[in-house]
Copies of this chain bind each other. A is one copy, B any other.
Amino acid sequence: MGSVHPEINHGRRDLIKLGAAGMGVVLLGEQALAEPKKGVKFDEEYDVIIVGSGFAGIACGIKCAEKGYKTLMIEKMGRIGGNSVINGGIFCVPQNDLQKKAGIKDSNELFIADCMKAGLGINHKELLETLAKRAHETYQFTLKYGAKYLDSLVHEGGHSVPRTYQTAVGSGAGIVLPLMERFEKMAGVALKTRTKFDDFVMDDAGRVIGILAREDYRFDSKLFSDDLENQGGTPKAFKATKAVMLASGGFCQDKYYRAVQDPRLTPSTDSTNHPGATAGVLLKAFGIGAVPVQVSWIQFGPWACPDEKGFGVGSMFNVNASFRYGISVDPKTGKRYMNELADRKIRADHMFAVIGKDENYPINLCDSQAIERLLPDHYEKALKAGILKKFNTLEELAQHYKMPVEAFKKTVTDYNSYVKAGKDPEFGKPTNMVDGITLSKAPFYAMRGTPKLHHTMGGLQINTQAQVIHSKTHQPIPGLYAAGEVTGGVHGASRLGSVAITDCLTFGMIAGENI
C-alpha cells in the first residue's frame, strides 16, 4: 500500500526518539512511519485539537475558547455537526425546571436507575452520576449560547417520568447551529471541514502531542471502507500543546467494524446515522492503548421507516405520536405485539420478530388528537414524502395495509378500553403517559415501521474527567480526552432515548474544563 503522507515520508526516514519511562516495550503499529529525530515537523500549532464537530466537539470547543485557548476543530465531512445536527433534538435533563413547574417528581437516582435498567446494569455508574450532577448546567450552557427549546417536556420511552427537552426546531440542529455560530466567532478558533484525522503523534513520554490529518479530503460513501480505501487529501501535521480531544462519534455506518461486532449486519443494513459514522478514530485510539469498553452493543432505533433512507422525515412521527399516543400492530394479525413505550432494545427485538424474513413491517398509527400535538415538522414532511398516510376510517387503514379488518378493529377497541381503564393488561404500556388519548378521532395516520442501526454504545474507556484511559497503566493517556459516542460505558447495553445529547454535551464540556 502506498503512503498517504508522501511528503512526510520523504526526507523523514530517520528516527523518533523514544523515552525509557515505564514498563518498557516497543509498541509500534504495523505501518509506523519514519520520523525525524526531533519529532514530526508540524505544519500548524494549536493549544487544543478537537476531532469532530458534533455536540461533544462543540461543547469542548466553546469551553476551550472561553479560556482563550487556540483551538482547532477538524471535521472530515463537508458539513459540520455529524449525527448531532440530524438527530431528534431531544435532551434529557433530570430534575429540570419544566419538571418543577409541572410538579413532576424526579431525582438523579431515578434517572440513573432508568438508564441502568435499559443498559442491563452494565453501565459505568460513575459516568451516569456525573451526567446527573451536571446535566442542568449543560442545559444552561446551551441556552447561554443560543439553543432554544419548547416549553413542554417529552416523555421518552424507558424514562420513569417526562424529563426531556425538545429543541424548538425539532432536531439537534437547534443546539449545534447556534453553538457553532458562536464558537466560530470566538477568538483563536479555527474550524476545518473536509479534514480527516489519520493518527496520533506522541512524544517520548507517551503523551499525545498532535495529530496527522489530511485537508481537502472527500469522504466517499460508495467505498466499503472509506477509512481503509480513501487516500485522498493533503497530509498535514498539527501540533496540540495542551490536548487532543476525540469527539468523532460512533460507528453505525462502518460496514467493516459493525459486522465484526454483529455479523448479522450486511453492508446494506440501513442506519439512521450520517454516512461518515465510521470507526477510524476509535480503532486508532485502541492502537495507542486506549481500552475497548463494551464495543459489541449496537442499538437499533425502533422508530424508523423502511420506505425511506436513514432517520429520514418519518422517525419523528413514531417518536412523538404513534408510539406514545397510538399503537404498533403486526399487519398479518392486526394485533399489537409489544409495549410501544418499552426501551429501544426491547422494542427493536419485538419488531425484528414481526418483520422476520419476509419483511412484514409493523404498522405504527395514531389518530388526529395525537397529530394535533405535534410540531408540523414531525409529520408534514412525512405526509408529503408519501411514507405517512392519512385514512378517513380504521377500515380504510386496515385495508390499505392488507390487515384482517375485524381483528384490527378489535385491537383498537381493546386498546382504547385500556387507556380509559388506565391499565394495559396485554403489554403493560404505561397508560399514564398517553394523556387519555384514544384512537378515536378521524382522520387516522399510519406508517410502516422498522428498527435501524442507531447508536454504538461501546467505545473508549474514559474517567469522569473525560480523560482516555490506557490499558497498560489504568491511568489517563496524557494529552488525550474523549466524549460522546466514541466513548463507552455511559449507556451500558442500551442507551435510553434523549440521553445521547446529555452525554455528548456534558462530557464535551467537562473535557473543555479539564484541558
Contacts and interface: CB of A to CB of B under 8 A. Distances in A.
A443 interface: no
Given A29-B289, A286-B292, A293-B296, A35 B18 contact: yes
A461 B27 CA distance: 19
Interface stretch (A89-97, A405-413, A469-477): A469-477
Interface stretch (A5-13, A61-69, A187-195): A5-13
A471 B287 contact: yes
Contacts of A16: 15, 18, 26, 28
Given A122-B264, A124-B263, A261-B122, A3 B21 contact: yes
A295 interface: yes
A289 B287 CA distance: 5
Interface in A180-237: 198-202, 204-206, 212, 225, 228, 231, 235
- Tallying the copies of this chain within the complex gives 2
A318 interface: no
A212 B29 CA distance: 16
A111 interface: no
B20 A17 contact: no
A23 interface: yes
Which of A30, A202, A264, A477 has the largest count of B CB atoms less than 10 A from its CB? A30
Contact of A31 (B5, B21, B260): B21
Which of A13, A16, A286, A470 has the largest count of B CB atoms less than 10 A from its CB? A286
Contact of A28 (B3, B27, B294): B27
A261 B122 CA distance: 7
A31 B206 contact: yes
A27 B27 contact: yes
A34 B15 CA distance: 11
A402 interface: no
A32 B23 contact: no
A4 B20 CA distance: 10
Contacts of A148: none
A174 to B, nearest CB: 34
Contact of A18 (B34, B228, B471): B34
Given A29-B27, A122-B261, A296-B296, A22 B1 contact: yes
A404 interface: no
A37 interface: yes
A123 interface: yes
Nearest to A127: B263
A134 interface: no
A273 B31 CA distance: 36
B28 A287 contact: no
Contacts of A295: 292, 294-296
Given A25-B200, A27-B28, A474 B283 contact: no
B24 A212 contact: yes
A291 interface: yes
Nearest to A473: B30
A33 interface: yes
A111 to B, nearest CB: 17
B288 A28 contact: yes
A287 B28 CA distance: 9
Contacts of A261: 122, 293-294
A280 to B, nearest CB: 9
A289 B29 CA distance: 6
A3 B295 CA distance: 31
A121 interface: yes
Interface string A118-141: 000111110000000000000000
Nearest to A16: B26
A477 B20 CA distance: 26
A306 B320 CA distance: 48
Nearest to A6: B24
Nearest 8 Cβ contacts at the A-B interface? A22-B31, A25-B199, A30-B206, A27-B29, A15-B15, A283-B471, A292-B292, A5-B24
23 contacts: A1-B473, A3-B20, A3-B21, A3-B22, A3-B24, A15-B18, A16-B18, A18-B28, A18-B34, A23-B231, A24-B235, A25-B199, A26-B32, A26-B40, A27-B27, A28-B288, A29-B206, A30-B206, A30-B288, A30-B477, A32-B202, A256-B474, A293-B296
Interface of A: 1, 3-5, 8-9, 12-35, 37, 40, 121-125, 198-202, 204-206, 212, 225, 228, 231, 235, 256-257, 260-264, 279, 283-284, 286-289, 291-297, 458, 461, 470-474, 477-478, 489, 493
